Structure 1
Amino acid sequence: MLTVQDHELVAAAIGEAETRTDGEISVVVAPESDSYADAVLHWALLVALLPLALFATFPDLLHWATAFVHEPWGDEAPPLRLIVLFLLFKTISAFLVAWAIFRLPRVRIAITPHETRTRRCRRRAIMVFQVGTERRTATRSGVLLYLSMAERHAEIVADELIQSKIGGEEWGEAMAALLAGIRAGQPGQGIADAVRLIGDVLATHFPYTGTDPNEMPDRLIQL
């Protein structure tokens, strides 16, 4: 969780970094980048099929289970109908229980493949950049630092002009500082350190000329 002090720390870091560069730095923190509802559904369906697989592998277990339910009620219900209803009940019950468990935030993140989480964080970062940062500056020099808390994943997205001069590897130290702060339980400090390092990179390629106005607010945006 980010505190008021964290917001102030990041805002100060953005202001300081932008005194050294014509670039504009935007910071956005999201609780998560996706609901991963498809992953929850896929795993719940898989669990729902387990009773069917179990009874198909061990038919005697199915006969024992249906007999246990059927015998106290006599012979009114046809065995085939009882078996179908029994399997249907087991399948639906397994699905509902699994779906409820897999929807828990930490479980939902854990069952989603790492590649999927990374891809969707990147997609969300680009969307946020396009809405709030891209081409919002006269010199096309905006940079977005995007952090998704649930996935503990960060992305740096930059305008075309910056991408043409700065390779992705140059953001490495900033990403490392950010993740180090998160692991240490100090996300605000990690973000502020990352902003300063982003400022160092921008100052190298886009030094401050005094002619580029401050076109974006120097603050952390928490979605």
Structure 2
Amino acid sequence: MKRASTLFTEADHRRVTEAVARAEARSSAEIVPVIASSSGRYDRAEDMVGLWFGLITLCVGWWLLQGVEPSEWGVPRPRLGLLPVVGLVLGGWVLGVVLAHLSGSLRLLFTPRSEQKAEVERAARQAFFDRRIHHTDAGSGLLVYVSMLERMAVVLADAQVLEKLGQPKLDALCASLVSELKKGSYTDALCHTIEQAGAALAEALPAQAQNRNELTDALVVMD
């Protein structure tokens, strides 16, 4: 699984920081962009992958090794005994768990999309509070959150921004962000969405005479 920190150069970080600074200069809002490698552990998916690998290993082993051979008294007995069967299942399960642990994409194959969405939304809310975006003086924080593994995004706003822009506008910003991400550049997608948010916020929450910068303008990367 790719780590978010490996995708951004110093120049990319500067571009995002400058985009946030320009957007905030036009309004009294605080915009915080966050990109995460993933939003959930999906431990249950690892167990599911292990179970399937165990069953597949058992079937392959049974097909290759199973048969009967006569005992010394002429009574047929299975060539594949209980201990080899248990060993095949456990070995396959361990192999599956290890592969799933190393491959986020493999875990997602066994995780419903609804569960992925719930994990991304939970992680976005956690980042919203951990980064104190909810704690600005005017309640004007805006989170732009991207989760790489799940390929999902969330735009989450504090009370004042939500009241002025409305949830449909936030949903439109999120949809635009996802559309831009599909083009392949995380930096371009973030900058474009931040600019769009800045334009909307400039009308809804114009800059004040003392436009204090309460939160960092830098891109927050969560590996």
- What TM-score, normalized by structure 1, do the two folds share? 0.81
Give 1:10's aligned residue: 16
> Match for residue 83 of structure 1?
81
Gaps in structure 1 of 5+ consecutive residues: 56-60
Q: Deviations over 1:150-176 (max 9, x none)?
A: 222111111123223332220244324
Amino acid at match of 2:10: V
Deviation at 1:132, TM superposition (A): 0.6
Structure 1 Cα separation of the partners of residues 137 and 72 of structure 2: 83
- Separation in 2, partners of 1:205, 1:144: 17
Determine the structure 1 residue equivalent to 2:184.
185
Q: Which blocks of at least 5 consecutive residues in structure 2 are unaligned?
A: 1-6
Q: Which residue of 2 aligns with 1:42?
A: 48
Q: Distance in 2 between matches of 1:163 and 1:173?
A: 13
Mapping of 1:55-70 within 5 angstroms? Answer: 65=66, 67=68
Query: Is the CA contact 1:26–1:220 (under 8 Å) kept in the aligned structure 2?
Result: yes
**Identity over the aligned pairs, expressed in percent?**
24
Partners of 2:32 and 2:133 within 8 A in 1: no
Contact 1:27 1:145 in 2 (8 A): yes
> In 1, distance between residues paired with 2:81 and 2:42?
34
How many equivalent pairs are there? 212
1:192 partner SS:
helix
Q: Counterpart of 2:81 in 1: which secondary structure?
A: helix
TM-score, normalised with respect to structure 2: 0.81
User: What residue number does 1:195 align with?
Assistant: 194
Is 1:221 matched with 2:220? Answer: yes
| Contact residue 173 and residue 197 of structure 1 kept, 8 A | no
Question: What amino acid is the match of 2:215?
Answer: M
Answer yes or no: is the 8 Å Cα contact 1:136–1:215 preserved in 2: no
Residue 96 of structure 1: aligned partner: 94
CA contact (8 A) 1:174 1:198 kept: yes
Shift of 1:74: 7.1
State whether residues 164 and 205 of structure 2, in contact with CA within 8 Å, keep that contact through their aligned partners in structure 1: no
Does the C-alpha gap of structure 1 residues 214 and 175 become closer, same or farther in structure 2, counting only changes over 3 Å? same
Amino acid at match of 2:47: L
Q: How big is the shift at 1:97?
A: 2.5
Counterpart residue number, 1:58 = none
Structure with the higher helix share, 1 or 2: 1
Match of 1:139 in 2: 138
Report the Cα offset of residue 39 of structure 1.
1.0
SS in 2 for 1:203: helix
Instruction: Report SS of the residue matched to 1:218.
Output: coil
Deviations along 1:173-221, whole A, 9 cap, x unmatched? 4324422332222110110000011112222321212234111121111
